[in-house]
Amino acid sequence: MSKHSAGGYQDPPTQPRRKRVVLADSRAPVTVLRTVIELEQQTSWAEEVVRGFIRTQFRTAAWLAALVILLFGSLPLLFFLLPGMSEIAVAGVALPWLLLGILPFPLLFGIGYWYNVLAERHERDFVDMVEK
């Protein structure tokens, strides 16, 4: 029972819960901490590691972009070399229209998905290398 300000009893104030604050995990290997510190301080070794990671990501993107350019760039050449393809119809639509109007979308989606998988793999490899 609590009485209000009329000189009676009041409810005890609730104490805030204590929170444990951990600044660093003492069980973490020293090399991980040293690597993270070097990356944060951007030492020459850390810059080279990051530069290598960026080169790997760029190489993957450039390789897949070249694949897309090769695939779509070869279609006009294919139509030029095989003029009979324009007479082929699928479901009443000329084959070149299907190849140029429908094929690019699932193909680009698939290559984009493939790039995403490869980029995530490169990132996991980079994190694993940093944490060793």
8 Å CB contact between 115 and 60 = yes
The residues of the chain scoring below 70 in pLDDT are: 1-13, 19-43, 132
Tens digits of per-residue pLDDT, 27-46?
555 455 556 666 666 667 77
Element (H, E) at 6: none
pTM of the model: 0.60
**Long-range contacts, 33-40 (Cβ 8 Å, 24+):** 35/130, 35/131, 36/130, 39/130
